[in-house]
Every structure is written in C-alpha cells, then in structure tokens.
Amino acid sequence: MAAYVQTLGPGRYRLTLARLSGEVLLVMDEICARAMADPLEKLCYRPGFRALPPVDSVAVQPQGEVWIVHALDSLPLHRHLAGLHAGQTVRRLGLTTETRCLGPNEWDITPEALERVMEEWPAPRLVYFLDLPQGEAELARHEQQGVFALLRLVQALQSRYPGAALVVKVVTGNAVDFPDSDVTPWPAGLHGFCRSAARELPETRFVCLDVDAAFQTPERLVAAIVAEPGTESGGLVVLRRGQRFAPGLMPAKLPTRPAGAPNAYRPGGTYVILGGAGGIGLVLARHLIRTAGAKVALIGRRSPDAGPEAAVAELRLIGDALYVQADATDPVAIKTAIAQIKEQFGPIHGAFHSAMVLADRSLDRMDQTTFEAALQPKACATVHFCHALADENLDFLLLFSSLQSFVGGPGQTNYAAGCTFLDSYAAYWRSQVAYPVRLLHWGYWGSVGVVASESYRRRLAEMGLASIEPDIGMAALDRFLASDWPQLLVVRAEQRLLEELGVR
C-alpha cells in the first residue's frame, strides 16, 4: 500500500491511499494541519520578582508599646530600632536558652517563657521579630529561636490579647533565593509561616521582610524596616540594594524535547525517591521504570508490611525496585539507607525528595509536635537527605515543594513553613554541590497522593484549583528535567487564583 499526500494550499492537504497495483482505496480531501496544543499550556509558571514602588521613609508608626524580639545571635539591630521609636515604651526580648530579667523592659528569654513574662504587660501595637543569623547555623538550634519562637509568640499574643489590633513585623536576612545573592536558608520557614498565619488571623497585620543586611549601614537598614508597610496578604517583601521587590510568578512555556533527543534519565539508571511509597512517588517510580528501564529505590518510614512491600511487588512486575525503611529526619538512618541502596543497585544517578506529612491545625490548637510533624519532612529531612547525597555523582537532585510556598493556606503554618524553608535550602544546596539541584512546586494532585479525597477536591475547587493528573504531571517533570530551569510551579488554577498568586 502507498500513501500519497498533495498540498492543496497553506495548511491544506489531500491524502490518497492506494494499493501498489494503483487501485485507489481512500481519498481524504481538505485535511488541515495545525500544531497540537501544548498539553502543559497554562500549567507552568516560573517564580521571579517584581519591583515595588518605594515607600515614604517617614511613614506614621502605630502608637503604643513596641516589642523587639530577636534571636541572640541575630544581627544586633535592636538598639537602632529602639532609637527610631523614641517616646514609645520599647521592650526587648532576646531569645536564648535561659530566662533572666536584665531590666524592667529587657529580658533574655526562652521561647517557652514568653507568655509568662508578658503577663503583666499591656498589649503591644507593634512587635518586631528579627531573625538575621550571622554565619552558619545548626538547623535545630535555629528553629528554636526562629519559627518555633514565632509560633509561641503569636499564640501567646492571641491568648493574652485576643482581638487586639496588632502589627507583627518579621525580618529575615538573605533568606530568599534572589538573583546574584547568597542564600542563608535558616530563617526561611518564617516566610511561609507568616503568609499562612496572616490568612488565619485577619486582625493581626503580618509584615514579612527579607533584607540584605550586609549591603546597608544598620541605620539605613533599620529606617527601611521601620518604614516598610508590607503587603495586604502578609506576603514577603524583599529589600535588595535599597529597592523593594515582591515574589511573583510568570507564565512559562517549558521547552519541548526535540524528537529523538534523550530524556533526563539514564537507561537502566538508579533513582532514589524519598517518600517514594507515597502517591506521587509511586507514579514517578512506575514512570522511571517504563521510560528508562530504571532501578528505583523508595525510602519511607513505614514498615514494609504496612503497604510499601505490596507496592514494590507491583513495581517488580515491570522492573527493578526496592524499599528501604528509614526516617530522613534521622541523619544516620538516611545515610545508612543510601549506602544500602548503593550496595544493591550500584551508583545512584538521580534523586527525588517526595516526602511530606500533612498535619493541618489552626494556630490556637497548634502544638509543637503537630507543627514539627509537617515541618520536619520538608526542613530537617531535606537537610539530612541532601547531606547523605553530598558525595554522589548525581545527574540531578529534584526536590518537590508546593503551591503553598506562594499561597500559605490557613491551618497550614507548619507545612507552609516547611515548604519555604525547603525552597531556600534548595538554592543554598545548589551552591554547595557540583550537580544540578532542581525545585518543582506542585499544585494539587487529585487522583493520587495525600489530598486525593472528595473533601479536599471540594475545598480546593473552591480555591480555584483543579487536579494535575499523573500523565500530565510526568510530562511536566520530564520536560522540566530536560530543561536547564532551576525552579518551576506546575498548577491547574483558575484565573482568579492566578491573579491572587500575582501571575503577571
């Protein structure tokens, strides 16, 4: 049989199918050819920054008490700050591991003692929370004086002064991945916390500011901090070289892979998926086996007989798979897991962080255990997973983050804090290792994973979110990995949500 195509005009064709003897079997006239719509159109967005107008440096400050809460090893800005609030009662609380009174308005204090110490004090109108670490920090110690302390402070303010009109100004130093600057990721969880807390507590105005402390004199820096009005949503404002910026999202067209070009996976390569026995992890494992004949190693905390064993048995019907039980928040356990995988499968070629725990709870009921349950798979586990892979010769390390980095849902201060920490840590880790470190924010997966339930579907549809289905998710992931983009958001969102997200 032969097929004969004639051009009738631009984009118009006639197709004739005939036997080799010349007998015509079929003629199709006026066939139109158009490029196929990209299935990822309107699903992909790249994070960036947009400039904000300058603010009036002599903005009127709220009258009433001012509190300055700061980690003791934070850049010492409190004296300069107090100077700009002359005439107001200024109380200073330096966060540390012991509580002692240094004067009527001055304390060194543990986060646990905050509520007790403020018992005698009237409601403040303005609270500064300063977290500008100087040099390297150990995550656990930093969390104590950072995000855990802010959680306790906000809870104490709510229970002690319910309904009080209050401004909470949270200032971090270089905690954001901004072009041409180094990242200090330790305070970055505060950004997600503030955005989510702002949604829960409308009577409290959260102003969240990330500054480049080294660039300015303390006097100029403090003047900018005092003048900063923040955004309506409690979203982050980034101050760099005297200019204000807001994080934003831009629609993006992921490059398509030319036909025949290799994808990002090595045929028969070994891939590790932290959280691989979860919903998206298993979709990914199947995809890697099918597209690359990969060997996949899944890591999770559950005992194998609580589900992962059965999942791995299914994967073994189509390829090579292994489950290792390990909690990535334990540095020894995750290192041992990586060694075990290498022993069985040989060198690791790529790694994915797909671990998460959802532990939604409103701030008034949020205890530290619940807070950590959602925070640590994104914070502490990320740090230990990255370190366990530090010396591997990877083609890539891909960390899964979330839309939460940009919206901050109510009841999710813990998960949102984890996501914004992970985002900054990805940028930091990129500067520490020789292999590419990529960051992929997912919108909402409705058919697999932790929120694949009818109640979440309804709740998220109200927000303007529709489900990313596995085939589209994997197509986006393949094209993202084949590109050289460091970061991407994949989401199916209605226009109203895109506008809320600041998509321009």
State in angstroms the smallest separation of the CB of 340 from ligand NAP. Answer: 14
For position 281 contacting ligand NAP by CB under 6 A, the verdict is yes
Q: How many angstroms separate the first and last alpha carbons of the chain?
A: 52
Q: Please, what is the minimum distance in Å from the beta carbon of residue 273 to ligand NAP?
A: 9
In this structure, the dihedral spanned by the alpha carbons of residues 334, 340, 344 and 348, taken in order and rounded to 10 degrees, is: 40
CB of 167 to ligand NAP, least distance (A): 31
With contacts defined by CB under 6 A, name the span among 179-187, 260-268, 276-284, 424-432 that binds ligand NAP.
276-284
Instruction: Show the binding pattern over residues 176-205: x = contacts ligand NAP (CB under 6 A), - = does not.
Output: ------------------------------
Query: Tokens for 92?
Result: 């200073």
Q: Can residue 425 be called a binding residue for ligand NAP (CB under 6 A)? A: no
* Rounded CA separation 111/108 (Å): 10
Q: Does 387 bind ligand NAP (CB under 6 A)?
A: no
Point out which span in 49-57, 314-322, 398-406, 469-477 binds ligand NAP (CB under 6 A).
398-406
Least distance (Å) between residue 436 CB and ligand NAP: 18
Tell me which residues in 55-114 interact with ligand NAP (CB under 6 A): none
Q: By CB under 6 A, is residue 405 in contact with ligand NAP? A: no
Q: 214 to 273, contacts with ligand NAP by CB under 6 A?
A: none
Least distance from ligand NAP to the Cβ atom of residue 279, Å: 4
Q: Which residues pair with residue 297 across a beta bridge?
A: 272, 322
Compute CA distances 421 → 133, 269, 415, whole Å. 14, 30, 10
CB of 479 to ligand NAP, least distance (A): 18
Of 148 and 444, which CB lies nearer to ligand NAP in the complex structure? 444
DSSP letter assigned to residue 133:
B
Nearest distance in Å: CB 311, ligand NAP: 10
Binding of ligand NAP by 284 (CB under 6 A): no
CB 489 → ligand NAP: shortest distance, Å?
Answer: 10
Query: Measured from the CB atom, is 157 or 375 closer to ligand NAP?
Result: 375
The CA distance from 100 to 164, in Å, is: 27
CB of 196 to ligand NAP, least distance (A): 14
**Looking at 146, 300, 409, 502, which residue binds ligand NAP (CB under 6 A)?**
300
**Number of residue whose CB is nearest ligand NAP:** 278
Per-position DSSP letters for 39-102, written without gaps between them: TTTTTEEEEEEEEE----TTPPPPPSEEEEEEETTB---HHHHHHTTTTS-EEEEEE-SS-EEE
The residue from 327, 372, 392, 423 that contacts ligand NAP (CB under 6 A) is 327
What is the distance between the alpha carbons of residues 379 and 187, in angstroms, rounded to a whole number?
Answer: 11
> Alpha-carbon distance 274 to 99, whole Å?
40
Task: Select from 322, 363, 340 the least CA-distant residue to 203.
Answer: 363
d(CA 316, CA 309): 10
Total binding residues for ligand NAP by CB under 6 A? 29
Question: If we measure between CA atoms, which residue out of 204, 206, 205 comes closest to residue 191?
Answer: 206
DSSP string, 440-477: EEE---SSSSTT-SHHHHHHHHHHTEEPPPHHHHHHHH
Work out the burial of residue 383: count CB atoms within 10 Å of its CB; fewer than 13 is exposed, 13-18 middle, 19 or more buried.
buried
Q: CB 341 → ligand NAP: shortest distance, Å?
A: 13
Span of 126-134, 174-182, 207-215, 400-408 interacting with ligand NAP by CB under 6 A: 400-408
Site residues (CB under 6 A) for ligand NAP, limited to 355-384: 355-357, 377, 381
13 vs 485, beta carbon nearer ligand NAP? 485
304 binds ligand NAP (CB under 6 A): no
Tell me how far apart the alpha carbons of residues 65 and 61 are, in angstroms, rounded to a whole number: 11
Instruction: Please say whether the beta carbons of 359 and 374 come within 8 A.
Output: yes
Of 174, 184, 354, 414, which lies in the binding site for ligand NAP, with binding defined by CB under 6 A?
Answer: 354
CA-to-CA dists, residue 274 to 72, 179, 316, 329, 338, angstroms: 35, 29, 18, 11, 10
Query: Smallest distance, Å, CB 377 to ligand NAP?
Result: 4
Task: Check binding of 451 to ligand NAP (CB under 6 A).
Answer: yes
Q: What is the rounded CA–CA span in Å between residue 435 and residue 187? A: 25
Rounded CA separation 168/62 (Å): 12
Nearest CA among 151, 197, 142 for reference residue 172 = 142
**Residue 47 or 300 with smaller CB distance to ligand NAP:** 300
Q: Does 156 bind ligand NAP (CB under 6 A)?
A: no
Binds ligand NAP (CB under 6 A): choice among 402, 405, 414, 420: 402
User: In the complex, which residues of this chain contact ligand NAP (CB under 6 A)?
Assistant: 274-275, 277-281, 299-302, 327-329, 354-357, 377, 381, 400, 402-403, 442, 444-445, 449-451
